[in-house]
């Protein structure tokens, strides 16, 4: 089985020469798979970079501590603002 994930239909416009070349190169019914195989590495690279950036930030314990304190203070400020406007 080729694709383990769900597939979605996508309509794209290509010029006539590109369409002819795709038909000759990969054949009718295989263009979607060909384009998916060509695009997947390009898209995965960015995703991997983003994933590694998040992992790097999470590994910074001082930054994580400061971020946690900041988010906890947001909650405190939010509750204080609600109490102020309830009256």
Q: Where are the domains of the chain?
A: 16-86
Reference 68, options 58, 79, 78; nearest CA is: 58
Share of the chain above pLDDT 90, in %: 39
17: nearest Cα among 5, 25, 29: 25
pLDDT tens digits, 19-46? 999 999 999 999 999 999 998 888 876 6
Q: Name the most confidently modeled range: 6-10, 26-30, 56-60, 78-82.
A: 26-30
Instruction: Report the pLDDT value the prediction gives residue 14, as an integer from 0 to 100.
Output: 93
């Amino acid at each position: 089985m080729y694709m383990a994930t769900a597939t979605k239909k996508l309509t794209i416009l290509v010029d006539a020469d590109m369409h002819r070349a795709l038909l000759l190169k990969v054949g009718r019914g295989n263009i979607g798979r060909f384009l998916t195989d060509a695009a997947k590495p390009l898209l995965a690279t960015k995703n991997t970079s983003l994933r590694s950036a998040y992992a790097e930030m999470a590994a910074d314990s001082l930054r994580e501590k400061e971020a946690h304190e900041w988010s906890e203070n947001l909650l405190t400020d939010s509750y204080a603002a609600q109490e102020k406007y309830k009256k």
